[in-house]
Structure 1
Amino acid sequence: MTDLSAMKRNALRRMPRPLLPLVATLALSLGQAQPASAQGFRLLDAPQVSPRIPGARNLSTDLQLAGKPTTADYIVAIVNSEPITHTEVDKRVARIFDTAGRNTRLPPADELRRQVLDALINERIQMQAAKAMGMTVADADVDAAIANIAAQNNLSLGELQSRMKADGLDYERYRNSLREQILLERVREREVNGRIRITDDEIDRVRAEAAAAGRDVDLNLAHLLLLMPEGASSAEQQRLAQKAADLQARAAQGANFGDLVKQNSDDKSTRDNGGIFGMRPASKLPELFTDAVKDLKVGQVSRVLRSNAGFHILKLIERENSAAATYTQHRARHILLRTTPQQDAEAGKRKLADIRKQIVGGQASFAQLARQFSEDGSATKGGDLGWAAPGQFVPEFEQALVALQPGQVSEPIVSRFGVHLIQLIERREVQLTDAQQREAARAVLREKRFEQAYEEWAAELRAAAFVDMRDE
């Protein structure tokens, strides 16, 4: 049974979110795949990798094409005796086109196929290396990933399987695809992180340089991006520049920046959130951005910025000195009902809705009903989860928790662990310790070195592998 420790486990124990490394690139590199460690902070016992499952479209182009008959399939490469077929390349290319944004710049078709084949060869080599090391992925990990995917798409497990069946997808093929992704992520993290060495002297130097350069601040920016299409004509460039200038003027005059972002921004990763990045160390933001906002007051809007990606407009939401920063801790309690074939998420939500009525109506206390009904290890303590820093709970749980006021009880919330009812007991501000600041500096160094370490590891594996390229 997954208990409180499973809910709160993470790679940086009790590390507040403002100190976590910025591991995904910003809009300046939209659409570029990240190495495994650059996929963001997550709970280690519930992998968050998955084929794409948009709410109103087919579950996965890759899986949809898998198993379809083809009239001319053939081998395009042999990797240590394992073949890669023309259809496999076709599936990956189709998935790229299906998920690419309207302004995403893709290489010419022949070059794209070459890059895709090269990526498939590297994946096959790394998968073989993981298996040679004896690495495996337990069924429970795959189940946790699927439960998370269903919850993120507001589906029960049964609904997910029904949609897959309606789209002609095979459930076991889907599970195998997830298992491979999880295994690739794990072998990359294990092998690459093991190559990165960081000394105390290097940490001291990073902290000293940040202080001297005024980079020991955390910034929360909102971002509006107008992408410049590849090969845009001078007229198109002028049109976008004028549009950016008009939007900047409206924002500077007091127009709602979040609304402008939702209506105009091409940065899909932040558009639905009004363009807000969240609090991040200035040292992990593009220099173009930090230079543009260094003289701004909170609430002000930057001038229009130009980069290779297009035109940017920034709004400074928050600024704080990270050397003296605090972070918010929450103390909460919850009731957890796990999803099973006999009790899916919808049944759990109905049951917890009835329990919530009893609590809100004063018929019973939250702690009393947690001891009676909760299927989490915290049940004996009345559901009390203790004090927790940002990033320690799964996103669905934390989002609901942050929205509560002390004493309030949430509506039933679905996560990869099951269905929760949450009560916020209290919240407090806590000063960052020196140890936490040192860990933040270590994370910055590790992130800077990951890509090079990953490339070196991948190149060594490739050099040692037998790869026979076939003429298409």
Structure 2
Amino acid sequence: MSAFTGGMMKLGTYGRAALVLGGAIAAFGAAAQTGNSAAPLNLPTTNNVQIFGQDNGSVRKATAIVNGDVITATDVDQRLALIVLANGGRVPEAELQVLRAQVLRNLVDEALQIQAAAASDIKVEQSEIDRYFEQYAKNFKQTPKTFAEYLRARGSSDRSIKRQIHGEIAWSRLLNRKIEPFVAVGEEEVKSVIDRLNAAKGTQEYRIGEIFVASTPETANEARANLARIVDQVRQGASFVAYARQFSEASTAAVGGDLGWVRAEQLPEPLSEAARVLRVGQVSDPIPVQGGFSVISVQDTRQVLTADPRDATLSLKQMSINFPKGATREQVEPKLLELARTSQSMGGCGRAEEAGARIGAEVVSNDQTRVRDLPPALQEMLLKLDIGQATNPFGSVDEGVRVLVLCGRDDPEATSGPSFEQVYAQLEEERVNRRARRYLRDLRRDAVVDYR
């Protein structure tokens, strides 16, 4: 395993949000099993098997009827399976019923959004939905057919995801027609924000993810408790993006809750206070905000209008040594000391191959490594090195130990800050988001929903 391997999957406009499955979609498929797999069950061997009671698995009772549109238990199960998949299958049984109730609410909202769009003569063609689904499959290095088979094997379906795609496109187009044309952002407002950014040069900026759940005074306790359960799951390793995608009632749910880069001062005061104290990767407790509760995650930090050293591009050489299976730390200690001494005294990158051959180390080069793409511990070490110096050895006896030698560094240029258009778009999105939440509340209020 090389320190240079890895990378990030880039999704499309809707795809970036639609299926962040938290690494759950990995190795695909399994070997076919042979023989009689039912033999250990000691089942009857004749065809005269008597069935007690009636059960037809293909017929499911309606879970809710939303203005005449039916949401079945199958719909809930398949959408819930996506959340379980996003958490690597690790969802406690006690949480499933809570998640199931939230999924049902989300499906009701999704039905209302699709209905409202249809009432405004907004059409989403099946061919569009299929194109987005095909893109998702490509992002996971699968065809639409194999991706659909994968989902079905895990209790979900391509139909469930396509329904979600339909809802997102329809709602986006409805907001574009009903709300965005009536949201006004003044030129002076934009200039004021830009002036404040310039004045704040060098101050901290945060990449924030948010999950927002609306509530009334009557539902506040329930909303807070539901968010607290989500926080617990995320802190145990579940995907924040996947939960934001399924449960957040903000418009940023479509992009996994991503608020983009913001200064603390741009956030509502309760969220601003949380952002300042959270470290990168941490998630807040539920925070009361206007209209409900929010949970935020600090995904990254940087300084406003200042070059970030982590955006530097490094030229590196890696020297690595692998050990026999079962070797102990005591057995490999001499080799580790030799690797450390050699890398520190060999005189820089020019002699790395020669030194590696002398001690039996493999040498690999990479001239396009961004500091930001490395693990945090390595970022810190490399940013302190001068050209020609090497890191301390790192890794493990089982997977190999390596050092990185810094051969060159291209430092980033200071950013000029957001453009007028970028600031305008952010202000507009915030106002559209607020109006969209009110619009959805109105749809819920006027809907006829029959729960079964």
Q: Tell me the TM-score range normalised by the shorter chain.
A: 0.3 to 0.5
> If the length of structure 2 is used for normalisation, what is the TM-score?
0.43
- The structure number with the bigger radius of gyration is 2
